[in-house]
Chains A and B, each alone.
With several copies, the nearest count.
Chain A
Amino acid sequence: MIFRVYVNFKDGILDPEAEAIKQTIANMGLKSVKNLVKGKFFDIEVGDKKNHLSEIEKISKDLLANPIIENFKIVKK
């Protein structure tokens, strides 16, 4: 069983990297890009037996995402 955890910045938090990428795309002459948001994902493989959701939640909250500036979302793949 694989869970995918998506992590990205909360609204309104400055993401300097995304800014730099946007700027670069513009410099590459590609004008149609209006916005770019960036994030991470983690595919976590666990055994099939029990329900792992609460564990995955704990991992997401305590490790994968920084809840002060990031949101996370868990989906079962």
Chain B
Amino acid sequence: MLKEKKISIVIFPGSNCDRDLFVALEKCLGTKPEFIWHNCSHIKSTDMILIPGGFSFGDYLRAGIIATKSPAIREVIRFSKKGVPIIGICNGFQILIECGLLEGALIKNSNQLFKCEKVNLKVINNKTIFTKNYKLSEIISLPIAHSQGNYFIKPDKLKKIEDNDQIIFKYSSDFGDVTEKYNPNGSVNNIAGISNKKKNVIGLMPHPERAIENFHNGIDGIKFFKNLKDLI
């Protein structure tokens, strides 16, 4: 029998989507993830790490920055170098950006307001380990809930990540138009999710874990997590 693979969820003081993520993984993959507290300085082994949404350390200073000073982040970086898949959702995305695993910055939404609503995403890269079961340009719909999700990257760097297919999701209309009208927060080129160069680290602002029940506003999160099945 294969040894059961281990999924880890790293939590920080102020994380608040950890339970939701746990529930989603349990429901979609049938495995129970383990929680890693932020001050854990040694993760013995893990096959995938997820960083949940919320307000780590109150989002003080800049969302995600203070969390990068926690010991567990050094471990996340160590595992990322080994090629272990890492996923950051919302605040998790912000943390991955602040700790340098992903490029760019997430600044305040262009209208200064927190925004909670359902958005459509267009799959821009379906060749990553996280997205290979999507069709190219498939439209999925997921909720967002954030005030600092405005993705910024300098034009030269943008070109680089584009050329290297690191843009994974963009905000779009139901029909896949990627235009300003469907940009909820001011992100450069409607970018909603990106990966690192090696494509084993991914971050996205929307919340797949909030779209997994029939009573949710859509269930496209299920597919997002089921995509991970092959990884564990």
Which A positions have Cβ atoms within 8 angstroms of B? Answer: 13, 15-17, 20-21, 24, 27-28, 62-64, 66, 68-69
CB of A23 to closest CB in B, whole Å? 8
Q: Does B104 contact A (CB under 8 A)?
A: yes
Closest 3 CB pairs of A and B: A20-B60, A17-B60, A16-B110
**Inter-subunit contact B108/A16 (CB<8 Å):** yes
A24 to B56, CA, bound (A): 12
23 A-B pairs in the complex with CB atoms less than 8 angstroms apart: A13-B152, A16-B111, A16-B150, A17-B58, A17-B61, A17-B112, A20-B60, A20-B66, A20-B111, A20-B112, A21-B60, A21-B66, A24-B57, A24-B66, A28-B69, A62-B69, A63-B65, A63-B66, A66-B65, A66-B98, A68-B104, A68-B105, A69-B107
Q: How far is the CB of B208 from chain A (nearest CB, A)?
A: 26
Other than A16-B108, A63-B69, A69-B105, give 6 A-B pairs with Cβ distance below 8 A: A17-B61, A17-B108, A20-B57, A20-B112, A27-B69, A63-B66
Q: Chain A's interface: helix, strand, loop or mixed, by majority?
A: helix
Judge if B109 is at the interface, Cβ distance under 8 Å: yes
